[in-house]
Amino acid sequence: MDTFLDTDAEKLEDVGEVDVVFDVIGGDILDRSAALVRAGGTLVTIAMPPKVRPRDGRAVFFVVEPDRDRLADLAARVRDGRLGLTVGAVLPLTEAPGAFAPAERNPGKTIIRVTEN
């Protein structure tokens, strides 16, 4: 099951234990999210390095900085056929935890579809 939380209307602590937290907010929400990660789970954040880590899980921080010129260049290369992309699988969010297991890997990029639209 996948759950998205509206932190303005719902209490973070009511979610219970989860396999993965994907944080895009940072700050207090990120700190409080660490307690939700069950043993063996992962806290992923793009907002800032986590100060609080899951007790029996791992925390991953990666930087995403948009660069309009580079993205436009990449789009032009794809359109012109100078850059190819091999899609290995397109999977729903519900299959994300197992999508990157070594036994399940397909050649090409794995895409996780977040919505059905």
- Do 45 and 18 share a structural domain? yes
The answer to whether position 1 is within a domain reads no
pTM: 0.56
The answer to whether position 3 is within a domain reads no
Q: What was the pLDDT predicted at 31?
A: 95
Q: What was the pLDDT predicted at 115?
A: 79
- Do 55 and 75 share a structural domain? no
Q: What was the pLDDT predicted at 30?
A: 94
The answer to whether position 104 is within a domain reads yes
Domain residues for the domain of 25 are 12-61
Contact indicator for 112, 94 with CB cutoff of 8 Å? no
pLDDT means per 10 residues, the chain with 117 residues, are 77 88 91 94 93 94 84 90 85 82 71 80
